[in-house]
Amino acid sequence: MAVGARSGHGEPEKRPEGAGGPAAGGAPDGSVPPVPPVPRESPGGTPPDAGSGPVRAGEGNEESGKPGEKAEEPKKQRSFWKELPILVGVALVLALIIKTFLVQAFSIPSESMQDTLQKGDRVLVDKLTPWFGSEPERGEVVVFHDPGGWLKGAAAEETGPVASGVQKVLSFIGLMPSAEEKDLIKRVIAVGGDTVECKGGNSPVVVNGKALDEPYIFPGDTPCSDKPFGPVKVPEGRLWVMGDHRQNSLDSRWHQDIDRGTVSVDDVVGRAIVVAWPVNRWATLPVPGTFDQPGINAAAAVAPPALGLAGAVPLVLWHRRRLLTERAPARGGERAPAEG
């Protein structure tokens, strides 16, 4: 056997010259020294002890202490004075949207709606429901534009330049009524298609033959003793309105020379739903129960007969056609023998 050969390891019997000699780094006896293990690289390609060396300036992370990571600079917050104009702008936009589509504040300018509303009260008017096709109903308190001449001769309230400027700003965002707008507030007594009248004295207001019990009338007033009227047939799409302070209200009774004293539904701004100011007078403005009495709705009183007639006509025609169909074969059978 050759020198240096090992049995059972599959190595070649002969080695290259000098492979195991001292010059090649082998042992003096010619044997091969063990090869030292090569350190494996980390997944990132860096030996395990690569981080143990000195860290260069600027490569460390002051917060985490890890090499190679840069410290993140904290984000600077805007100052309050920079954000204030944005907040004011958002508030104004929201106020304009609310004023245009939802609710608007109005000030009561006179005593015509006492005791329900006092002069100087602030009411919130619902402007949302008319966008969905809802129309004013009997008993509701509504704000409407001057139909034409109702406010003629009314003295305008004089204010100073500062107060006038403040009112213009607040009216622009819907917190106060505009001094230029001519609006009134009254209670709806009758709607399109109704017949309304009042004979004077202590006689009640009558709508479609039903007398109204009006507990909201100003104490000591009568329903219409100062201005009897009617009967008046309210045109479709219009309203008959009256103030709760009957002897101090220039309402529909006093303007019958123009459209029978009625107000167009299109002139209605919205329904007053709540007294918002002053706080000690906070109250809702519901529809009085007298307007819910049976038979007051003229349209409902006519509807059942009309619907019955509309349903009976097709039924009669169908029955008559059926009888004609049944008689046709019998007549044909009688005539057949004679023709034969």
The catalytic residues are 112, 186
Question: Where do we find the tokens 């057949």?
Answer: 336
Distance in angstroms (rounded) separating the CA atoms of residues 169 and 185: 23
Q: Is 209 left (phi over 0), alpha (psi -120 to 50) or beta?
A: left
What are the residues whose beta carbons fall under 8 Å from the beta carbon of 174, sequence distance 6 or more?
95, 96, 98, 99, 100, 103, 104, 105
Element containing residue 314 per DSSP (H, E) = helix 298-339
The beta-carbon contacts of 256-260 under 8 Å, at least 24 apart in sequence, are: 256/229, 256/232, 258/147, 258/148, 258/149, 259/147, 259/235, 260/232, 260/233, 260/234, 260/235
